[in-house]
Structure 1
């Protein structure tokens, strides 16, 4: 796990100042506390920050071939590098190190860009090919590792692991992209095909971009995508066996490390499954860690303790207060762009706890997206069935009227909060699912925007991205389409961004075995009945893990990290809420109606409405604007 940055001149091979690459690295020292390196050649400069994991003595970067024809900087891990190395050695390649980085150089020399198809892992790398005058940028299939890039006025393209590394370059113009503001207000994060800083791009999951000197900047090419178009015909017992084998292989391959390794353990299905398979593969006690809350309704430590005892792990628990809003400025620094998933706070704390004893931690991220574990997946499946049963001429006006006139009851038990459900049933499937994934509904966004902001969007609407992804999905079923969109958009934009930034904030490498692409491809071929059955998502995974985990771990309701943001904005953060309406960087943009924002803050504080999530979005946007644009 590392940080990378660099400069490549597209038009002519101008000299690259190593100090400029150095300043890009200095912007993100947390990504590589164990070493740094810079390499330049005519028209190119590559920089690397190292968090040493594999081949501590010999894996320094940038790594250059003996003839200096190829050079690479690499962030991540290639888990099958030993097998690839053996294959390359059989073809005559001679290796100088025992690192996975060198496999990229020799793999490219042997197979060209097709080498990426052989790599199993999480990675973002930049490979310079001197003979071709080209720089090849690549990101892993699921988007575990980030990579930003931007063309500049001097004909160069800069790239880096984090946005802040690009901002360290003096030629990058800092201007906001207002369509990204709309995207953020809809989702609570800025998707991978957008950036709050105009002109900056993010290489997408499963994409590569080849820059060739003398040619204009082209578009990224997708080298991998998940398909839900096919169905497995294997019997359930055979599917269970295949799933456990895939999970076992994914976990074991991610346990290779030359530094201390452990796991996050929440006591939920996903992390418990990972820990169970780690314990099976390890001759020593697995190091696990859990954070708990001093509020009983939010605390899962009892479940985590039970799993820890079952597998005799070396377990540590730390109780933290949900009132951790003191981390706001630190989060804003590490995310760069605004990020409003409040579970980032406890994620930071569990990474901080893990880093006290280990350098690598395995997580359970990805199973919900791959195996249909979210509540919204079940709602979408059942909702689409209902839409298919009722003619549009009846369904749309009836449910539309119910949605308009049903009271908005945020305070009520979940089963009484039917307003959004009625509105979603009135719409089409894609529209309904886009709304269910969103944080701030379109009507509310329009209400708080100024006329100038609405005009500047030129009709751009954040939900259309989800609707298009679902419509274009290689899929057979509405559930397929919802999961495909989640894997393409939500997973890299929210879940993996959160895990990457919070783990790297404390120089911890997080690995996600349940996002092994072979496992994701297997899940995409499962019949719907093996993903959702009755009220249970992740059905096959839970069934397959019954031999390892007790029933109340497998089948208890999903909790996840919860933070009491609504209470914060009626207490310690009430001042922050009021400031977004006037006096803040956000208020000075002219994007939001200050009267509408003031009413939202006042109504929330008075308990007349629950606008906690919206206020959190606005505060995090305000913090990001101050950092990115000095507003």
Structure 2
């Protein structure tokens, strides 16, 4: 696991000075504190920088790595889990190796198959290749977007890549904020790929690559090489026992592949189904170091469940408790993400990664299982909404459900799924728009109120729901749950969940591996009909069948509990002046885009207990701190 920076320009211009490029690479020291390497070609038109976190073949595997002839150079962030099998294949094809590193295997995969090498890789990765003989550069990101890759094209016809945005913006004193990305953030809590918070900066989307000749950089654009959509549209309606058996074999293989390392390996453990499956499998071959997170607010605390599972599998378990002083980490969040990022589980994920880094360099996590096997409550609510819509003819939806929405109380204090008024009101609208609202920190109406009229005019009616609608339209199956699942795989999973895990872990120089996002599992299981995973209040039924012999009944059928922070309670534990200090009205006012009177009102409503607006306030506080550090123009 590492950090990389790469730059390419045509022969008519020059790259940034080498000293500046080295400075860009050094911003990624946390991603690879073990070794540093550089490559600059003679013409100063190609530069590669690398920071290494040594995981495989500690003595070798230095980067940039070069072919024997010296014509091909590569920088690589991630792990290729099937590198040993690929190495055997390549040896039979006549390749010679000088190390046992997966980097060298990846280099030879490029030499053998060029662009088609991506079809052979099982792993999480972003990498950049410079092929001098072909005058070609190639950059790629893994299928699910586990590892990040940012890029930008500059006015002087050059292109730069980096593992984190901070490297690319280091010396840009004229960067401007992207209006639609700001709106996306306040809606969803993150900036969805391929956008960045700044104009002219991009995230290479999951399952994409960029390839171009040095004299044709202007036309370098992303190309998609993989998408889970094909598997979703297969829509498998029945699952024979043989498929369940094969699913267990593939999942076990995926977990075991991700324990291969020349450094200590541990696991995050919540006590729920997903992490327990991983720990159960790992504990069959060795004693596992496990880590869990607890909260000082009891209803959010799963530490007791994690301890029960740790005892069951005799792990070496560590548990930490997070309290309201977590607000002290606001600056760390901005430094980690380089963009506003409002997932309220970021701080606990950062702290548990910091704890794990004291003993291990690699951790396995259960991320991705809820998206793959439909574990989120929103999927179950979509199923209920779909069933209600089928009972009543469409022409009377507005009449019946609109009247019921007015009749029932709002119940703003209650969890979302208990708010009858919200439920009935949603039945009068478009089902994907409803899913968008369920996934949003702030509704479209609330988001618009946060900004002043000048910003709203500039935004010109844009909403992130357009992203959801465009993605849903690609799913051929007339099942809103499968449409929502595809939306999550293209937005929430790569841009929120995996981004959070990557930045918080790498800020602590440890690597997190996610077995449930092995592309073989995704291809085999994402296409199953939603009713195979959801029945009534039960979800992830196929995973429970796959894992039936791995876990006791109590864990196997435990209800999901979201990994989230008690943000509402934390804000109310503070005096009003402290809340206003964190939200930072002064900075917001200077930005010239916010309706600060409305934001003041949100603070008052929340502190009086009239509405639960903790996440809205948190999203505003994060953005204010981002603005304070960004030095960017509107």
TM-score, normalised by the number of residues in structure 2: 0.95
Q: 1:460-539 alignment to 2 at 5 Å?
A: 460-475=462-477, 477-539=479-541
Task: Show the 5 A alignment for 1:255-266.
Answer: 255-266=259-270
Give the 3 Å change call, closer, same or farther, for CA 415–232 of structure 1 in structure 2: closer
1:134 corresponds in structure 2 to: 136
2:7·2:15 contact (CA, 8 Å) conserved in 1? no
Contact 1:430/1:471 (<8 A) preserved: no
**Aligned residue number for residue 237 of structure 1:** 241
Using the alignment, how far apart are the partners of 1:253 and 1:430 within structure 2? Answer: 37
Deviation at 1:621, TM superposition (A): 0.7
Residues 292 and 569 of structure 1: CA distance in aligned 2, closer, same or farther (over 3 Å): closer
Question: Would you say the 8 A contact 2:374–2:530 is kept in 1?
Answer: no
Partner of 2:280: 276
Structure 2 CA distance for aligned equivalents of residues 495 and 311 of structure 1: 27
Deviation for aligned residue 1:153:
2.2
Aligned partner of residue 249 in structure 2, secondary structure: helix
Instruction: Tell me how far 1:560 sits from its aligned partner.
Output: 2.7
Post-superposition shift, 1:404?
Answer: 6.0
Match of 2:311 in 1: 309
Distance 1:166 1:626, change over 3 A: same
The answer to whether the 8 A contact 2:381-2:417 is kept is no
Residue of structure 2 in register with 1:551 after alignment:
553
The answer to whether the Cα contact below 8 Å between 1:9 and 1:157 also exists between their aligned partners in 2 is yes
Q: Which residue of structure 1 lines up, in the alignment, with residue 389 of structure 2? A: 387
Displacement after TM superposition at 1:218 (Å): 3.1
| Structure 1 stretch displaced more, 368-377 or 203-212 | 203-212
Shift of 1:367: 0.3
Greater shift, 574-583 or 561-570, is seen at: 574-583
C-alpha distance in 1, partners of 2:418/2:239? 40
- Asked if 1 retains the 8 angstrom alpha-carbon contact of 2:295 and 2:565, the reply is no
Give the match for residue 213 of structure 1: 214
Match of 1:22 in 2: 22
SS at match of 2:166: helix
State how far apart, in whole Å, the 2-side matches of 1:629 and 1:397 are: 51
1:3 aligns with 2:3: yes
SS at match of 2:160: strand
Q: Within the alignment, does 1:196 sit opposite 2:200 as a pair?
A: no
- Cα distance in 1 for partners of 2:93, 2:555 equals 49
> Which residue is 1:223 aligned to?
225
Mark the CA change 1:376 to 1:64 in structure 2 (over 3 Å): closer, same or farther: same
Q: Deviations over 1:517-546 (max 9, x none)?
A: 110111112233321122111101112222
Distance 1:413 1:453, change over 3 A: closer
Gaps of at least 5 residues in structure 1 are none
For residues 25-44 of structure 1, the aligned pairs below 5 Å read 25-41=25-41, 42=43, 43-44=45-46
Shift of 1:434: 1.3
SS at match of 1:208: strand
Contact persistence 1:582–1:594 (CA under 8 A): no
Q: In 2, are the aligned partners of 1:151 and 1:158 still within 8 Å (CA)?
A: yes
- Native 8 Å contact 1:3 1:160 kept in 2: yes
Matches of 2:476 and 2:23 in 1, distance apart? 43
Change (3 A) 1:455 1:401: farther
Correspondence for 1:166 = 168
Partner Cα separation in structure 2 for residue 462 and residue 378 of structure 1: 23
Q: Secondary structure at the match of 1:412?
A: coil
Distance 1:530 1:222, change over 3 A: same
SS class of match (1:324): helix
**TM superposition shift of 1:397:** 4.1
1:461, distance to aligned residue in structure 2 (A): 1.0
Structure 1 residue aligned with 2:376: 374
Structure 1 residues 109-148: aligned runs within 5 Å: 109-148=111-150
Matched, 1:442 2:441: no
2 CA distance for matches of 1:103 and 1:404?
A: 63
CA-CA distance at 1:562 after TM superposition: 2.8
Residue 584 of structure 1 aligns to a residue whose secondary structure is helix
CA contact (8 A) 1:348 1:503 kept: yes
Counterpart secondary structure, 2:462: coil
Contact 1:580 1:586 in 2 (8 A): no
CA contact 1:578–1:602 (8 Å) conserved in 2: no
The 3 A distance-change label for structure 1 pair 416 and 375 is: closer
**Closer/same/farther in 2, CA of residues 413 and 620 from structure 1, 3 Å limit:** closer
Instruction: Please report the RMSD computed on the Cα atoms of aligned residues, expressed in angstroms.
Output: 2.0
8 Å CA contact 1:581, 1:598 repeated in 2: no
2:68 aligned with 1:66, yes or no? yes
**What displacement does 1:428 show?**
1.7
Q: What whole-Å deviation, never above 9, does each CA across 1:282-340 have from its counterpart, x for those lacking one?
A: 1x211112222333322222222222222222222233335422112111210111111
Deviation for aligned residue 1:585: 2.5
Residue 450 (structure 1) shift: 1.1
State the secondary structure of the residue aligned to 1:484: helix
C-alpha contact 1:11 1:155 (8 A) present in aligned 2: no
Match of 2:611 among 609, 612, 620: 609
Q: 2: CA distance between counterparts of 1:225 and 1:29?
A: 32
Larger CA deviation: 613-622 vs 558-567: 558-567
Give 1:265 deviation, angstroms. 0.8
> What is the Cα deviation at residue 590 of structure 1?
1.8
Q: Distance in 1 between matches of 2:151 and 2:136?
A: 15
Q: What SS does the aligned partner of 1:479 have?
A: helix
